[in-house]
Each structure stands twice: as C-alpha cells, then as structure tokens.
Structure 1
Amino acid sequence: MEKNGTKNHQTLQLTILATSDIHGHVLPIRYVDNKETDNGLLRLATIIEQERKQKDNVLVIDNGDLLQGTPFAFYHACLDQSAHPIIGLMNHLRLDAFIPGNHEFNYGLNFVNRAKSESEYPWLSANIVKEGTDEPYFGCPYRIFLMPGGVRVGLLGLTTPYIPNWEQPSHIAGLSFESAVSAAKRWVPLMKEREGVDILIVSYHGGFERDVQSGEETEELTGENEGWQLCQEVEGIDVLITGHQHQRIGGASIGNTLVVQPGYQGSCLAQIDLLLQKGDDGAWVVKDCDSRLREASEAAVNPDLAERVRSCEDNTQRWLDQPLCEVRGEMRVVDPMAARMQEHPLIELVNRIQMEAAGVDISCTSLFDNLAPGFGPHVSMREVTANYPYPNTLKVLLLSGRDIAEALEWTAAYFALANDGSIIVDPSYLSPKPQHFNYDMWAGIEYAISVSRPVGSRIEGLKYQDKPLDPLGQYEVAMNHYRASGGGNYRMFRGKPVVREVTVDMTEIIAEYLTKTGIVHARTNGNWTVRS
C-alpha cells in the first residue's frame, strides 16, 4: 500500500510473557510458617490474565523447573495420584508451551509422562532425544504460531544437557541429552527454511556462561549453560528466554538477540513487547522491542484461581502438620553461616540418619540454603520439608582416601577471607545464583578447614578412626544421589562404584527415623572445624 507517495508498511504488536523456575511456588506463602509472600504463580497468573484481556496477540511460555520445589509440589508428585494442580492451573491459563527443566525429572519418567499427558499444551525440547536417535523425546521440538497478517512465529524449546550429571540414571533411562547449541544449529535452519518462520523465539532452560553485559566468563565451561554461545553461534534468534540460574534479566542484547531471565519462585515474569513490520519483500521483521520484568508483588491473587487449588492445598497442609517427634536441646538454625563453620546438631542428625539408613559410618550432607529453620521442640513434616526441600535418595560410593581428600578440598573452596581477615562465602558460590548446597559437611571422619591456606591445600588433620586417612584405602560413603553423580562439580565422585542405593526419598527416611525415635537429642561430636 502507498499513501502520499510512500509505502505504508503493515505492523503487528506481539507480547510474550515468560515464567521460569517457579519451583512449585503456587500460593504466595512460606510453608515453614504459612506466612504470606510477594511471589508465586497465582500472583503472576493475575498479570497474565490481565494481559490476555487487554491485548490480542499474547504468547505465554513457561521455561521449566515448574513441578518441583515446595511441599505442595512434592505432595502432588509423590503422594497424590490425582490430576496435578499446577498443570491444571497452566491449562486454565492457556499456556502456549512448556519447556521441561532439569528438576522435572526428579520424580522419574513415569511422573514426567503422566504430567505431559495431563498438559493441554506442548512440551518442547529439541535436545532431549530418544537414546540412539535424534528423535525428540517429547515429539515436535518446536511450535509455529500463525498470527494476523500471516506472520509465522516459531518457538524452539531447549533444556540444559547437564541433567545426567545430577539425575539418577533410572529417572532418565532411554534418554540422551544433546548440546543445546548443536540442537539449535540443526533445528533453527529447518524452522526458517521448511516452516517459513518470520520471527524466532528460543526458550532455553539454561543460563549464561558469560556475563550478559561484559561478555566475561563467569563459570567453568561445562555445557551446563550455553546461552551466550547460542546467541553468538546460532543465526536468526530474535528472542532468547533463559532460566536455570535464577537471574533477573529484564532485557539485554547479545548480538542481535534480545535475552531475558525471569528470576525464580514466581517472583516475576518477563514481558517482551515486539513491534513487527512487514517489509517490501513480504517478510516480517522485528521493527522495535521493549522488555521488562513484571513483579509478582504488583498483583493480587485472583480468589477464583486460589479456589481451584484449595482442596489440594488443604491436603498438603494436613500432611505437613503430621507430628513426628520431640527435640530435647537446641536444633534451630539461627545463623546459617555459623552452622557451616561449626558443626550444627541438625547437620549431625541428618548425617547420622544417612549412615543408619545406608549401613555405613561415613556420610556427607549440606545445609541446602539460608532459609532452613532447623528443628524446634516439636517436629512435623513441615519442618522436615523446610530443611530438606529436594527429592533426593541415597547412594553409597566406594571411595579412596584420596577421593575423600579431594572432595574436602573442593568443598573448602566455599570459604574465602575478607579484607579484614574474617571468613566469608566465596563470591563464586553466590552468583549467578546461591549454591550453598554445594558445601558439604562430613561425619565419620575428622578434619579441619584452614581458610587462610590456598584453595586445594586447606584440609588439615584428616583422620578416620583416630588414624590418618589412607589415600589408597577404600571407604564406603553415604551421600545424596545428586552429589554421588558428581553434582556441584565433584568430579572425583563420577564413575565411582556404587555399593548400594537407598531408593526411598530422604524426607521419608528422615520422617521414619524421627517417628521411630520419638525423642531426639540435639548433639554434635566436633569432628570438624573451620578456622582462618
């Protein structure tokens, strides 16, 4: 069309709303005490519904790690076989696509397949394939949206391929995980050429191996995060939605690609507004774009949506309130840093439970985050899940003394010295996301961490049964399956013989132990220490 001698190009407004790493946070509450929070899927749902009412062309995408992370999610994954309430909510919100994250596999493939069958939206992941083939496990790895004016918008799903380094083999049996970059290089040209895609969105449950502003490397290149490489090496990506690292990136550009990452636990969603324009050649391009993070705190919960999950929530609350035991002595976590520098009764108890369940006398575990409350005088399932939020099982590895020493040196890198000589958490464990779960505390051996010494030579006085640990000796060690697979870059554990597995979930193991014991005494034996 021409007007006054100039061409009047056709335009279209497209809005993309993206969530990621919800981790089971549906209602805006903390399950440890049921206090209200400013986050949660139900708050974001209000924003999503408002945008759908106000605009014609809206796509809603969830970028993974949706179905694990809270007691609500655990209860409905493991203890309730009825329709999953989170999937029901996403069906109601007319989710356009879901990209499975690594934590979707925590409950095994039976759960994954059941969840997918209940979903009224496609699961997209181009790089999770059937073993021995290049066939995507979830079917077609992309979706094409036909918009007004004939605009063809393509969405490709990708997932971090690092899952085998964390997950139990039985949970991913029959699957292979290809590099996200390799898969994108294969599928993006196909989408452009065969499908005639005008605008290409990639939703990738993974993060960035470089700082998005400076381009400086931020982590060891393992393949866990390939966001920067995707932007640099795969031509034609207009928008890259990321996650996994729990960063808040409202909008940045890497080359010609707009990148976003919408935090975690339903704290915000990414909103991308694209102005598309049809060119003289009939092709549509991004003429202008704007992106921002929409805070969950700006929205109230729609009572009708809350009512949809009310019975599910009530069932979860009843389960959480089951009384288990009494505690004599102090087992609350008042100062997380102090609990990691001097043995805490909670950590001593978890290690003791692991050793009894696995039939060994050496164990390691973590204080997973800084929200763990410890145990008060009366313990219920609520406190157990608050302190142990992951669906871990146990493995017993056969390790050499040298393996154990290397693991302790790696865990000791968690600490650093501040300018004033005080001990702090090394910044690499805090950014791009907190990794307190990668600092282990051991039982059954004696050791000291000297933080003033160089990384790699900080462990002193390493003993087993009052004798120096034999580097060539063989020892059976209990740990959660994430760590046993080498999760947290504990490479010294990878490929080591598995003596036995305890396939019961750790929350169940802890609950059974506490119920059987009845009265638990808070105590430590001082087998390790941290000093400057």
Structure 2
Amino acid sequence: MNLRKRFIAYIVSFVMILTMFGQVPVAKAANEVTIDILQINDFHGSLQESGKNVGAAKLVNAIKQAKENNPNTIVLSAGDNFNGSAVSNLLYGEPVAKMMKEAGFMFSAVGNHEFDWGLDKIEKWEELSGVPFLAANIYDKNTNEPVTWADPYSIVDVDGIKLGIIGLATPETAYKTKPQNVEGIEFKNPVEVAKELVPKVKKEADIIILLTHLGGFQDKETKKITGEVADLAYVDGVDAVIAGHTHQRIAGFVNNVPIVQGYKYGRALGKISFIVDKDKKEIIKKEASLDLLYREERKATLKDDEATKKIVDEYTKKVGPILNEVIGKTITNLDHNRYDYTTSTLGQWTTDVMKKLENADIAVTNGGGLRTNIPVGDITVGKMYEVMPFDNVLSSFEMTGAQIKEIFEHGIENKEIGSVQFSGVKVEYIKGAEKGNKVVKMTLDSGEEVDLNKTYKVVTNDFMASGGDGYTIFKEAKALGETVAIRDALIQAVKEAKELNYTKEERLIVKEQKQEVKEEKVQQVKVKEPKNTIVYTVKKGDALYKIGRKYNVKWQKIAKFNSLKNPNLIFPGQQLSIPVAN
C-alpha cells in the first residue's frame, strides 16, 4: 500500500511540474498537431535579475523548457527589446540581441523604442540576433512602399502547418520616440493595413498571427480586453493577436480570437496554443494563457540558462566599472509615478537641475522620460541609467507666455502620456477641465505672473523639443540650441551635492471650479456695446491671444475692455466684446 501511495505521489508531482512548465502531455489523434506560440514584449534591456524581473538567464531557461516540452513551439517578441537598462544602453542593445539569438526568437515586431538610437541600429540588431523584424504598416514616405529594412510578413512551416505572421507597429511611434529619428517614415493605420493584407497572406498560410506593438488592457474581474488589439480581432481571417506597448498582463479572447500580452521586462511569457487538424488544416482548439515567471512558486522552478548567464556576465563585467561607481546618496526617497497627475519628487528635482544648468526661467520634462524611483541610500551611475535610460539632451527655447500655457494645457491630466514635470513656476488649473481651458494662472518663482505676451527662457529635453509625446508647441518657438546629456547633468548634480535631502514643493495647484463659474456668469452679463465693437462667443480651445490675433487686437486690450480679472480664464459660450479699428 505504501509503495502504491508513493507511486501516486510521484505521478502527481510529475504532472504538477509539467503544468508549471506550461505543457501537460495529452493524448491526441494521429492527424492532430499542437502548436505553441510564446511571446515577450517590452523587455527593455532587463538582462539582470532584480525584484520581479527574472532576468535574461531565467527567461531563456523558461523558453527552452517550453521548447523541450513541445518541439512545435515558436518564440516571438512584440518589440521594445533593447533600450532601458544601463548594461544594454551603454552597448546599444548588443547583449539583448545575443540573448535573443540564444533563446531562438523567430521574429520581432518593431516597437517605438527601437528607433531611439537611429535606424542603423535596427539592421545591426537583426545581424547580431538573427531575428528579422516584421512591419507591414511602416511606410517610406518617398516611395509610399513598406520600408525595406523590415518584411511586412513571413510564412513559417510548423509540422506541416503554415503560419502567416504579420508585423504591425503602433502609430504612436511618430511621437513616442525622437521624431527626427522617424522623419520620412509613415505609420499607417494598423487595422486598415491588416484588412488589406490578411486576405493576401491567407492564400499562403493556414493560420494568421498578428505580431504587434499595439496596446491593450484587460479588466481583472470581467476579463474583457479593450484597446487597439481588440479592434484587430475583428479583422476577417485573423486567428491570433500578440500585443505589446502598454506593459499589461493579457490573456483572453475577443471575437473568438486569442490575444496575449506578456506583461513587461520578461516577467511573463504570453502563450497561444493551437490544436490543428493536419489533414484539413483547420484549428480544432485554441487557448490563450500567461506563464507568470515572476511569481515565487514559478520562479523557484527556473534555473539560470548557462549560455545566457555567460552572455549577461561578460557584458556586465565589461561596463561594471562605470555602473558600480557610487556618486552620492539621498536621505529622502525621490519617488516618481507619471500617472499620478501631479509633479513627483524626482520630477521636481530633475527639472530643478535642468533649470539651474541652463539659467532658464522654466524647465519641463515629460513624465515618461523618468522610469523609476531613487530610494534612500547610495546612488550609483547604474541607478541613474535606470532612472533615465534615454539619451536625451538639454534643449532650450525662447517662448511666449501663451506658448508656455500650451505646454501645461497638454501636459496636465494627460491620460496617455502622464503628467508633465516642471520647475520655476507654480501652475493653477481647473481639475477635469478640457484642454485649452485648464490653466488659470502661472506664477514664476520670483512671484511674477507669467504674461502671455512676454517671452521667457524654457529648457526641456530634445525628445519634447522635436514634438515627442505630442508637445508640438516647441516647433513654434524660437530654438536656442542643445547642450549636455540630461543624465550626465543629473550625475554631476549628485556628485556635487554628495548627499541629497530634497523635499517636494506644491507646484501644481487645483482651483475650485465653482468659484470660477460664478466669475464667468458675471462676465456674461450683457451690456450695451459701444460703437466699433463686435461680440465674439468663445469656442472650445480658445485663448485670449488667439482671439486677439484673429481680429488684429492686442489681447491685453480685450481683457481691459471686458474687465476680465483673469485674462487666462475664459469659457466656451462666454461672450466677449472685441474693440475693432475703424
């Protein structure tokens, strides 16, 4: 009896281990084949094990386990592979490319951050990794043809079943990388491109997979999937969609089409499984799941893949003397979360450094450019690379107060890009107001209120300066030139301070909307209009300086003529008297 119990316990343990590895052997008919598609997305150079990041060695171990359990397994990346860690950044993604080769990735989509260091790096990564990039909706503006450095799609044979894999990039790339790096490139609507291309590929392939760097979200309770990838599931002929970009855990179905996104930083493997009738070339069953590698019980089953560990160790040793240098310490946490819709401690300190270095009136940076907190303790060069993995430089402008207002109108409560970080000014705004009607008042550190018609010196990063994250107003301002790398400036600031004891200020101030509405009603009381005036009804997005420009009247004159207590605050539907020339 004891022997029988031990045998049963052995069988149960064996099945549990196989389950953790994501593949339980099941009996199937002779004419059936099981095909597994594994994917990662937004790896961002996360080569080393740290916190929830399992590291490259354990990630590759998990991939190799899956391939051993089912030889009919292919591995894909949804893009944003290289930029994000110090080891990868200092070597322009080379160690990540070597990791992908060792893991046996088959194809990669093109992420927006693949353009961060210029187009020449994309070809170099393909050469080093042996992993071709797929992109059907990235077009050369000069030829109106797909770019030559990536194929729109590819056909692969897996045990007699042909998979058609189509690559799609996010149109957000146009402003979520340095715009000058994608000049001459058009990112076409992915849904429209898929509608056109899928029927053509279907003539050659049995199964159609969309490998995308397009975002999505999944509700934890209802499991409903929303976002761009959900739209792709309604394209006729699509059998599976692989997502990226939004750093989410997604595994489910839309329109009976499986969709997966494997979180971020190699913490999970997305998996789509097909059981296919080899004779009829038809899908019998399909599944979508996530292998959450970062969970302790799963992580405990993983070992370091020795070949990958050797790659990471060699490259880490190569840059070690640079990264491990302690440059100072902080006795307060420099926290940051760009989606808090306020200014963070890290964001304020960063922009303070920028403002001081350029002797500017105001400094601004995008919340997404700062990637992690700086906790209490020693600060290393490596940590500063984690904080700011992008190689941005300081870029200064002469801007009018009206243009500065546009920065904050775009950057406050922006759900897509997160909150703008800034220094040198306090901004009062109406919470929940529409863009164009948010900002009530801007006051410089000197106590002077920002004059919409006056010019000021503003420093930002070259990403925003070229229209990144949609800050196109900089293109209308007078450029004063670029100087040092921001990361280098921050490192130098820590070295000079030796010990940071930074406290956050109140820079973004919410105004009560009720008070302002009362003022609006007072302003809308009809008065007898003098001669040579016209009545203008304020529209959404209007500003006093824009109205003045339209009628060739100084905005200050309009403000005075209408007895406006605050010329920055006007409302849609409000009537203004415009004094016009004879």
Instruction: Establish whether TM, by shorter chain, passes 0.5.
Output: yes
Change (3 A) 1:373 1:113: same
Report what 2:523 is aligned to.
none
Report the AA paired with residue 144 of structure 1. Answer: I
Select between 52-61 and 386-395 the one with higher mean Cα deviation: 386-395
Matched, 1:332 2:316: no
Give the drift of 1:211.
7.4
Work out the CA distance in 2 between the residues paired with 1:531 and 1:471: 20
Report what 1:183 is aligned to.
193
If asked which structure has higher relative contact order (CA below 8 Å, sep 6+), I would say 1
Work out the CA distance in 1 between the residues paired with 2:54 and 2:155: 31
Report what 1:273 is aligned to.
273
Report what 1:208 is aligned to.
216
Say if 1:130 and 1:136, in contact at 8 Å, map to a contact too.
yes
Give the drift of 1:454.
8.3
Matched, 1:511 2:491: yes
Matched, 1:469 2:472: no
Q: 1:311 aligns with which of 309, 314, 334?
A: 314
Change (3 A) 1:518 1:135: same
Give the drift of 1:159.
0.8
Work out the CA distance in 2 between the residues paired with 1:247 and 1:525: 30
Please list every run of 5 or more consecutive structure 2 residues that lacks an aligned counterpart in the other structure.
Answer: 1-28, 512-582
Q: 1:98 aligns with which of 108, 118, 136?
A: 108
Matched, 1:478 2:459: yes
- Superposed, 1:45-444 pairs within 5 Å as 45-77=60-92, 84-133=94-143, 134-149=145-160, 151-193=161-203, 196-208=204-216, 226-232=228-234, 234-253=235-254, 255-278=255-278, 282=280, 284-297=281-294, 298-299=298-299, 300-304=302-306, 305-325=308-328, 330-333=331-334, 344=345, 346-358=346-358, 360-365=360-365, 371-373=372-374, 376=377, 379-413=379-413, 428=415, 438-444=418-424
Work out the CA distance in 1 between the residues paired with 2:481 and 2:303: 43
Work out the CA distance in 2 between the residues paired with 1:340 and 1:184: 35
Report the AA paired with residue 141 of structure 1. Answer: P
Work out the CA distance in 2 between the residues paired with 1:99 and 1:264: 15
Report what 2:507 is aligned to.
528
Report what 1:10 is aligned to.
31
Work out the CA distance in 1 between the residues paired with 2:339 and 2:208: 49
Q: 1:22 aligns with which of 28, 35, 43?
A: 43
Work out the CA distance in 2 between the residues paired with 1:290 and 1:215: 14
Say if 2:395 and 2:481, in contact at 8 Å, map to a contact too.
yes
Report the AA paired with residue 244 of structure 2. Answer: G
Report the AA paired with residue 154 of structure 1. Answer: G
Report the AA paired with residue 284 of structure 2. Answer: K
Per-residue CA deviation, residues 15-51 of structure 1 (Å, 9 max, x unaligned), is: 111111111112212xxxxxx5453333221221011
Change (3 A) 1:307 1:274: same
Report what 2:551 is aligned to.
none
Give the drift of 1:72.
2.0
Work out the CA distance in 1 between the residues paired with 2:162 and 2:456: 59
SS at match of 2:476: coil
Say if 1:239 and 1:257, in contact at 8 Å, map to a contact too.
yes
Identity of aligned residues (%): 22
Work out the CA distance in 2 between the residues paired with 1:20 and 1:342: 29
Change (3 A) 1:303 1:247: closer
Work out the CA distance in 2 between the residues paired with 1:159 and 1:474: 39
Change (3 A) 1:302 1:399: same
Report the AA paired with residue 264 of structure 1. Answer: K
Work out the CA distance in 1 between the residues paired with 2:268 and 2:217: 22
Change (3 A) 1:303 1:249: closer
Say if 2:337 and 2:344, in contact at 8 Å, map to a contact too.
no
Say if 1:374 and 1:387, in contact at 8 Å, map to a contact too.
no
Give the drift of 1:340.
7.8
Give the drift of 1:86.
1.2
Give the drift of 1:348.
4.3
Change (3 A) 1:458 1:191: closer
Residue-pair matches, total = 474
Change (3 A) 1:462 1:488: same
Work out the CA distance in 1 between the residues paired with 2:180 and 2:430: 39
Per-residue CA deviation, residues 252-294 of structure 1 (Å, 9 max, x unaligned), is: 22x2422111111111011111011246xx5x12111112100
Change (3 A) 1:40 1:252: farther
Give the drift of 1:125.
1.0
Change (3 A) 1:454 1:60: closer
Work out the CA distance in 1 between the residues paired with 2:343 and 2:40: 38
Change (3 A) 1:135 1:525: closer
Change (3 A) 1:466 1:176: same
Work out the CA distance in 2 between the residues paired with 1:337 and 1:104: 22
TM-score normalised by length of structure 1: 0.78
Change (3 A) 1:522 1:239: same
Report the AA paired with residue 373 of structure 2. Answer: A
Change (3 A) 1:166 1:481: farther
Work out the CA distance in 1 between the residues paired with 2:480 and 2:134: 35
Report the AA paired with residue 352 of structure 1. Answer: D
Give the drift of 1:498.
5.6
Select between 164-173 and 284-293 the one with higher mean Cα deviation: 164-173
Change (3 A) 1:62 1:216: closer
SS at match of 1:121: coil
Say if 1:320 and 1:381, in contact at 8 Å, map to a contact too.
yes
Report what 2:427 is aligned to.
447
Give the drift of 1:333.
2.5
Report the AA paired with residue 159 of structure 2. Answer: P
Report what 2:576 is aligned to.
none
Say if 2:429 and 2:441, in contact at 8 Å, map to a contact too.
no
Change (3 A) 1:226 1:496: farther
SS at match of 1:207: coil
Change (3 A) 1:333 1:265: same
Select between 365-374 and 392-401 the one with higher mean Cα deviation: 365-374
Report the AA paired with residue 188 of structure 1. Answer: V
Say if 2:336 and 2:344, in contact at 8 Å, map to a contact too.
no
Work out the CA distance in 2 between the residues paired with 1:243 and 1:335: 23
Work out the CA distance in 2 between the residues paired with 1:370 and 1:138: 30
Work out the CA distance in 2 between the residues paired with 1:291 and 1:357: 51
